[in-house]
Chains A and B, each alone.
Chain A
């Protein structure tokens, strides 16, 4: 039973006071500016589709494509926009909160459909990432978003990628329909702890978000099972679900953040947890200090997230190498672990098991697989490792291989200093 379903509908005129004064270009400016704080741009890993037969437009083939990069280094793969930046919620960290004085706008469903198709035809994008502020009620907003994706799929036979930001409080039937049209569904947990959500996003309920993510996982699993008659049910969000957490707005440590991601990955089979460094927004609230976005911290969290998912590290191993529950900002978490656990090193590259090679700083999954494949036939030399893509500047202190032994390097007291960057003057911003 969702307590939020009792939301009192608010009469529309309150929100459309200034409607109609913007042209399409102005709306696009406002509603893409409002959407940029969502980190995800993934367009990969969905079902294979094509329009080769001429009956529609678009294709998806496993790996996504970044069609441009903005000067913030982020990939632009999807048309990432809000349907509207009007919102009845008051989340402190959000540029679109009700108490902000930023300019508001709202697309009509047709405008979104047209922009998506015209951008797609010119090869600007892989598809659409549609999100929205909450207007009137969660159900009304979600219904409008579902209408956009349904029109794209059914009226225009659009076979490109669609990522739909799902509103957790919305009617499950709407979420069910969204999953039939969208490749990916996502709901943001917003902040790393329930307490922080209560403090900074008072209208959001972490329990409702978790329940909605659970439902998406169940729907996706049900869509993967054949029925008694052997018929496959309709696909449901073939590229899975993801979420996002804002980093640096509250006081949560990296250990808390990674603990939360580990739980989310295991509970709801998320494809990704995105970490978004809290960054200055226009017309910010006084409740949150506007700091320089902790980009380095965000980067370290992604590295740790990868170690947890693809390198066989346990949560305690990564957070255990830190003093205050935060990752070392100067060196990467794998190197930090290796420096704190030098008794495992140096490893003999020609003999060490794969799971230990994965723990060598400077060795990635690909280089480890190449090492393992090649050493079946002959023993490896130092030069081989360079050709296999290993970063030997990092790895050399931790391995022995024909033509190389680190000697006392592995245990030398100044090993950390060799990797950590020299102290630099603090930038003004």
Chain B
């Protein structure tokens, strides 16, 4: 028989050293007796030989935090249980991942109980202010944990209440925090603590945040068991709140509606309603006015899911009007066209092609983002013919106000919107067509196509074509100027 006497402070570290020593010396669990905090007396220590307290063994990594936590459990068998499992773990590290193993399941249960107790102490401990020793304010609390958790929990309170001094008294340990130093003292019975006026305010809050129409007593008690109530100032209000809840809820339902106070009408008179344009709003005769008018567009159902209408952007006398497909995720959020990945690619290639981006008006064939939600992302959907047709009204209004010398239509959707024909864009790119009113239209690929082409060679070719088209556009603009 060997004995291991574990101290009250630093229990987990001491258990770890002893377990290491015993395992290295191959001492089986049945030959070991564990004692805690001198509990077994002198007679016993005289009989058994102390166990070795050091050695080297290797255990699965996940065993270490498990053992550390279980050591704080109140079960007197905890040290033996841990060692018995550790003994089985030799040569079978996979046991650690076996959630069906009864021995491990019990340890995990104990671990969970300790963690819960640690959490509940952080939650339900209540400080009262007491006289300070110096410049720092000083607080004290009484708490009765189920397990030996006051010591491992001390650093949490030190991190949280760093600029004050405090004392936490528990039946088996005292924790003090003075001028930033943690210290431990002996356990004691509940000390008298001075009244704290803030408790009345807190109780007021507790009474008033409760909604009597949603009484769920079981849900409350599952999370805040009665054993904690006696040390929580707000808990005194609970019986009365429960008893009065049904009557309060019924009174709210039965109360007849009252007349609005006189000031309500005065206030409401001065509030403009959203979504209404002022009666004297001017005709949309500038691009800015058009942008305002478009905000309320419901010509097709896309407005329901999108964030906002994204109208075109650029100088009102731009010689070039660039038309893309529709705003994407980023454009929808920012409310501006061509700011997402495809827009950035367009900017970059336009610069390489000598196309003056600051002199172009950029817009889209469809002004709302069409997508399907998938988890945390939005997947782009191609707008259908009906949506393109509905939005053409805006594209044409933009074109009429802008009167560009050239339109650059990028991709099939833009081609459909501007020329009425979307098919065959790969064959038509690099060629000039015209709108109904005779404005020349240069067709090209959509930059997002360049981002999607799977193989490198095809991508390079598409990028080359796109750049050539932008160069062509730049040349034509120079000619027409």
Interface residues of A (CB under 8 A from B): 1, 3-4, 6-8, 10, 14, 17, 24-25, 28-30, 32-33, 35-37, 50-59, 61, 65-76, 79-80, 88-90, 98-101, 115, 118-119, 121-124, 157, 194, 198, 202-205, 207-208, 210-211, 213-215, 217-218, 262-263, 265-267, 269, 277, 279-286, 290, 292-293, 295, 309, 315, 370-371, 373-374, 376-378, 380-381, 383-385, 387-388, 429
Distance of A279 Cα from B202 Cα, bound (Å): 24
Distance of A280 Cα from B162 Cα, bound (Å): 43
Q: Is the CB of A214 within 8 A of B333?
A: yes
Q: Is the CB of B99 within 8 A of A121?
A: no
Interface residues of B (CB under 8 A from A): 94, 97-100, 102, 105, 119, 122-129, 137, 139, 141, 156, 158-164, 180, 196, 198-202, 204-220, 223-224, 232, 234-235, 238, 241-242, 245-246, 249-250, 252-253, 255, 257-261, 263-264, 266-268, 270-276, 291-292, 295, 304-305, 307-308, 332-335, 371, 373-378
**A-B pairs with beta carbons under 8 Å apart, 30 shown:** A6-B272, A14-B263, A25-B204, A28-B208, A55-B162, A57-B161, A68-B206, A70-B206, A71-B216, A72-B210, A72-B216, A88-B267, A99-B260, A100-B260, A121-B161, A122-B129, A122-B139, A202-B273, A203-B273, A211-B308, A214-B334, A265-B375, A277-B214, A280-B213, A280-B253, A283-B257, A292-B213, A374-B98, A385-B100, A429-B250
Which residue of A is nearest B263, CB measured?
A: A14
Distance of A95 Cα from B406 Cα, bound (Å): 58
Question: Contacts A50-B159, A280-B252, A373-B97; is A266 near B307 (CB within 8 Å)?
Answer: no
Q: Is the CB of A122 within 8 A of B198?
A: yes
Q: Is the CB of A194 within 8 A of B304?
A: yes
Q: Is the CB of B234 within 8 A of A68?
A: yes
Distance of A188 Cα from B242 Cα, bound (Å): 30
A235, chain B: closest CB distance, angstroms? 19
B77, chain A: closest CB distance, angstroms? 19
Which residue of B is nearest A315, CB measured?
A: B373
Residues of A within 8 A of B217 (CB): 71, 73
Q: Is the CB of B163 within 8 A of A51?
A: yes
Q: Is the CB of B162 within 8 A of A50?
A: yes
Q: Is the CB of B261 within 8 A of A71?
A: no
Question: Contacts A25-B200, A73-B214, A282-B252; is A59 near B100 (CB within 8 Å)?
Answer: no
Residues of B within 8 A of A30 (CB): 208
Residues of A within 8 A of B235 (CB): 68
Distance of A371 Cα from B344 Cα, bound (Å): 47
Distance of A295 Cα from B122 Cα, bound (Å): 30
Residues of A within 8 A of B180 (CB): 52-54
Which residue of A is nearest B162, CB measured?
A: A51
| Extra inter-chain contacts (19) besides given A68-B224, A68-B234, A122-B126, CB under 8 Å | A6-B272, A28-B201, A51-B162, A57-B163, A66-B123, A68-B206, A98-B260, A121-B139, A122-B128, A122-B199, A214-B307, A266-B373, A277-B214, A279-B214, A280-B252, A282-B255, A284-B257, A376-B97, A381-B100
